[in-house]
Structure 1
Amino acid sequence: MTPATIKALRWFASRGEVGWFDRTAPGHSMRTRLLRRGLIETVKDGRPIHLKRLRLSEQGREMLRENGWL
């Protein structure tokens, strides 16, 4: 896992659920990669798509725990 991926996962771990538009969040391409790998997930809460939120998935949290980064 790259240092940038670790940094992005730790960012999500420290903030919980965040809006996709959060300007302090990891970049769009990093978020897309993390979503595809199942390390973060979209919160399913019935909100319109423009209000979707993201959070660290259990798989992402486990990866951080296993490597001592959480």
Structure 2
Amino acid sequence: MRGKVKIKVEGILDSKWQDWFEGMVIGFEGDNTILMGTVSDESHLHGILNRIRDLNLKLISVNPHEEN
């Protein structure tokens, strides 16, 4: 997968972690955190998902993101 993605994790992640997620923008949707940005390839995406795992965050979804 490459291109724009929207990753949703459970809970509120402090925006101080934004640099750790390789250019992803941190936003919020209710009580969940949304990471949005562009991934260059599958390896880049897996790096971000590994960081989510390392922080022991619960992954809700990973989806391509089309801007309207």
TM-score (norm 1): 0.28
Q: Which has the larger radius of gyration?
A: 1
The structure, 1 or 2, with the larger RCO (C-alpha pairs under 8 Å, 6+ apart) is 2
